């Protein structure tokens, strides 16, 4: 499993302009997924696929007209061309039809629909953008260095300037040291004519570097008593709001809007922010990553143009819940799940188990397999994720009556050690399921590793999603190829939401999965609510922020 520094615009709380949002179990987004909202997609070249689709529609009372047959391969991989021309048009037509009726559509892919969509070559406009991004990074790093050197001279600094040979992240980090020291310097200047001249020049440089956003304006108001005409022009002109930029960036960096977005970022947050923007564009197009899970790619079927390289933020994620514009983005995004498995019989069994357990309630033990990692915790690294598993244990102990077993040893649970299993999250046994569990009917669990949904059908494969389904779980999730660690739903968000019984499996997944146009898939009945009639955790009891505090 790889970790990676989070890109701006890629994760809740890690966009270019950070949003520190408290996590709550009561999302403001109105989610009420029903059978009439489902677009059921089957492979019309595979009779078993249509049979499973009909079986599900009959069991869940999905209108027959919501079923869509598509002419695709029965392989677990499909080409980008087949995706664009054979899968998308009929599915989009049905999605548009439901939206026209006022239904918020969701898509359910059935056994027989491929797992992965292949890569796409860069288009001519994308190649031009790649060239432009490389040039802009070099140009703006030189400009920024010149301004930082002037700022350092004015404030009598002793901080060595960041070298041009530094990587852009290193350059930006070093620049921040100069900015912080310059602000401290301004706060200590006496109210003398000579000092006011230095203050004015310093403030002008800071505006160029950090922009005229409300935050920057507030800083300047605190530090500059007398402004030059140029400063007044910069600070008094209407600023592009950070929310306007953030809303645009939910669809990524596009050739058609990159220049406009870069200019708006410069206006709001200055030269350094624009440098960071172009660096991110450079990174995206220098190393194209356009392979994705079919499921994750289809979420953007009605979104309009979007960046296909790399991942995009999932607007349904609860971390974005308090952004004023977020419902507009969500209306153009579609939740997608999958009813699948190694055999058609297993796919049908997922429905039967879900329907039965919704009535009786899911009972048993929660097994959590952490690794007991120590060291520095940073978002996206191993220690960070391990701590979220441990935090889930603490939440369950405090707010639920379900028995929970936490293991913090480096090894995974050994064979036969986990009877009466209802819920599970753990790591790290790459593509090697360990038969530790006796699964109760309706169990839900996922294993955090890089290869666990690379196949659901290959004979002899021991990847976790395939084996979990074969061994009896009713729902799981995993990546179709290398996803990076931070792309998994956090266990201390996913499982508490599921345990309230208020939301369906698909809704819980989309409130917690971080990315779209990426690698993760959800397998199970999308309408499944294992705690529907017997909640295992009560929302009203949880008043604290569910993201654990840093220690």
pLDDT tens string 264-305: 999 888 999 999 999 999 999 888 789 999 999 999 999 999
Give the C-alpha separation, 503 to 509, whole Å.
Answer: 10
**What was the pLDDT predicted at 187?**
81
Strand partners, 38: 106
Q: What is the chain's mean pLDDT, rounded?
A: 87
pLDDT tens string 29-73: 455 899 999 999 999 999 999 999 999 999 999 999 999 999 999
Greater pLDDT, 432 or 243: 432
- Mean pLDDT within 111-139: 95
**What was the pLDDT predicted at 175?**
87
Element (H, E) at 46: none
For residue 28, is pLDDT > 60? no
Q: DSSP assignment, residue 485? A: G
* Model confidence band, residue 24 (pLDDT cutoffs 50, 70, 90): very low
- Mean pLDDT within 472-481: 98
**What was the pLDDT predicted at 11?**
41
Backbone angles phi, psi at 146, to 5 degrees: -60, -45
Backbone angles phi, psi at 31, to 5 degrees: -115, 125
**What was the pLDDT predicted at 161?**
66
- What does the DSSP assignment read for 226-252? S--HHHHHHHHSPPPPHHHHHHHHTT-
Question: Mutual orientation of helices 124-154 and 168-188 as an angle, nearest 10°?
Answer: 30
Task: Say if residues 422 and 440 touch (Cβ distance below 8 Å).
Answer: yes
Give the C-alpha separation, 75 to 137, whole Å.
Answer: 42
- What does the DSSP assignment read for 418-476? EEEEEEEEE---TT-----EEEEEEEEEEE-STTTTS-SS-TT---HHHHHHHHT-SBE
**What was the pLDDT predicted at 233?**
47
Task: Say if residues 250 and 516 touch (Cβ distance below 8 Å).
Answer: no
For residue 374, is pLDDT > 90? yes
Give the pair of three-digit tokens for residue 201.
């020049």
- For CA atoms 283, 304, 322, 397, the dihedral sign is negative
**Residues 6 or more apart whose Cβ sits within 8 Å of residue 58:** none
Give the C-alpha separation, 68 to 93, whole Å.
Answer: 10
Backbone angles phi, psi at 478, to 5 degrees: 175, 175
Give the pair of three-digit tokens for residue 133.
């991004």
* Model confidence band, residue 218 (pLDDT cutoffs 50, 70, 90): low
**Residues 6 or more apart whose Cβ sits within 8 Å of residue 23:** 318, 319, 493, 545, 546, 547
Percent of the chain with pLDDT over 90: 71
Give the C-alpha separation, 350 to 474, whole Å.
Answer: 5
Backbone angles phi, psi at 457, to 5 degrees: -130, -15
Q: In this structure, are strands 106-110 and 335-339 parallel, antiparallel, or unpaired?
A: parallel
- Mean pLDDT within 210-239: 50
Task: Say if residues 3 and 381 touch (Cβ distance below 8 Å).
Answer: yes
**What was the pLDDT predicted at 158?**
58
Comparing 193-202, 459-468, 470-479, the range with the smallest average pLDDT is: 193-202
CA-derived radius of gyration, the chain: 26
- Mean pLDDT within 366-380: 95
Give the pair of three-digit tokens for residue 151.
């700022």
Give the C-alpha separation, 423 to 442, whole Å.
Answer: 9
**What was the pLDDT predicted at 540?**
59
- Mean pLDDT within 369-373: 97
For residue 15, is pLDDT > 70? no
pLDDT tens string 409-464: 999 999 999 999 999 999 999 999 999 999 999 999 999 999 999 999 999 999 99
- Write down the residue that tokens 């009959």 correspond to: 58
For residue 263, is pLDDT > 80? yes
Coil, helix or strand at residue 407: strand
Comparing 173-182, 218-227, 256-265, the range with the smallest average pLDDT is: 218-227
Give how far the C-alpha of residue 161 lies from the chain's centroid of Cα atoms, to the nearest Å.
35
pLDDT tens string 494-550: 999 999 999 999 999 999 999 999 999 999 999 999 999 999 997 655 544 344 433
- Report the b/e string of 411-441 with b at 16+ CB within 10 A: ebbeeeebeebbbbbbbbbebebbebbbbbb
Give the pTM: 0.89
Coil, helix or strand at residue 300: coil
Task: Say if residues 110 and 81 touch (Cβ distance below 8 Å).
Answer: no
Strand partners, 477: 522
Strand partners, 368: 406, 425
**What was the pLDDT predicted at 157?**
67
**What was the pLDDT predicted at 239?**
53
Question: Which residue, among 69, 56, 509, has the nearest Cα to 299 in the 3D structure?
Answer: 509
Q: What are the CA-CA distances from residue 344 to residues 54, 56, 114, 150, 527 (Å)?
A: 12, 11, 14, 69, 19
Task: Say if residues 403 and 26 touch (Cβ distance below 8 Å).
Answer: no
Coil, helix or strand at residue 106: strand
What is the maximum span of the chain, computed from C-alpha positions, in angstroms? 85
């Amino acid at each position: 499993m790889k970790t990676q520094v989070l890109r701006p615009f890629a994760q809740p709380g890690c966009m270019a302009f950070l949003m520190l949002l408290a996590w709550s179990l009561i999302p403001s987004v109105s989610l009420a997924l029903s059978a009439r909202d489902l677009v059921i997609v089957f492979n019309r070249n595979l009779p078993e696929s249509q049979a499973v689709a009909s079986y599900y529609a009959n069991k869940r009372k999905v209108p027959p007209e919501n079923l869509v047959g598509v002419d695709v391969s029965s392989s677990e991989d499909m080409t980008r061309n087949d995706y664009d021309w054979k899968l998308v048009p009929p599915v989009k037509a049905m999605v548009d039809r439901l939206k026209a009726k006022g239904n918020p559509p969701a898509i359910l892919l059935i056994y027989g629909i491929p797992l992965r969509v292949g890569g796409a070559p860069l288009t001519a406009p994308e190649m031009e953008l790649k060239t432009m991004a490389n040039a802009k990074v070099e140009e703006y790093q030189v400009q920024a260095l010149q301004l930082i050197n002037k700022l350092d001279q004015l404030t009598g600094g002793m901080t060595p300037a960041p070298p041009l040979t530094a990587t852009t992240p290193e350059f930006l980090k070093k620049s921040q040291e100069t900015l912080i020291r310059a602000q401290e310097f301004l706060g200590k200047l006496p109210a003398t004519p000579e000092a006011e001249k230095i203050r004015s020049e310093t403030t002008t440089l800071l505006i160029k570097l950090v922009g005229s956003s409300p935050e920057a304006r507030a800083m300047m108001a605190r530090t500059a008593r007398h402004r030059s005409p140029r400063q007044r022009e910069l600070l008094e002109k209407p600023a592009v709001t950070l929310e306007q930029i953030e809303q645009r960036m939910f669809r990524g960096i596009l050739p058609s809007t990159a220049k406009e977005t870069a200019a708006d970022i410069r206006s709001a947050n200055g030269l350094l922010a624009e440098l960071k923007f172009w660096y991110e564009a450079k990174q995206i197009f220098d190393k194209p990553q356009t392979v994705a899970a079919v499921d994750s790619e289809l979420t953007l079927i009605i979104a309009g143009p979007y960046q296909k390289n790399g991942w995009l933020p999932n607007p349904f994620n609860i971390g974005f819940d308090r952004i004023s514009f977020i419902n507009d983005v969500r209306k153009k995004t579609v939740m997608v799940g999958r009813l699948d498995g190694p055999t058609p019989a297993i796919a049908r069994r997922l429905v039967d188990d879900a329907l039965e357990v919704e009535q009786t309630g899911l009972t048993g033990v929660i097994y959590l397999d952490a690794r007991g990692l120590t060291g520095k915790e940073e978002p996206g690294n191993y220690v960070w994720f391990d701590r979220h598993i441990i935090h889930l244990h603490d939440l369950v102990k405090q707010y639920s009556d379900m028995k929970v077993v936490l293991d913090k040893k480096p090894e995974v649970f050994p064979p036969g050690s986990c009877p009466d299993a209802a819920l599970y999250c753990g790591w790290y046994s790459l593509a090697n399921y360990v038969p530790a569990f006796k699964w109760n009917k309706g169990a839900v669990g996922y294993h955090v590793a890089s290869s666990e949904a690379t196949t659901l059908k290959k004979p002899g494969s021991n990847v976790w999603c395939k084996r979990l389904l074969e061994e009896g779980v009713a729902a799981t999730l995993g990546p179709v190829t290398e996803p990076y660690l931070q792309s998994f739903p956090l266990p201390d968000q996913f499982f508490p939401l599921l345990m309230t019984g208020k939301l369906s499996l698909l809704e819980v997944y989309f409130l917690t999965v971080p990315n779209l146009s990426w690698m993760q898939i959800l397998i199970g009945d999308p309408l499944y609510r294992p705690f529907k009639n017997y909640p295992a955790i009560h929302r009203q009891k949880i008043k604290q922020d569910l993201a654990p505090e840093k220690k």
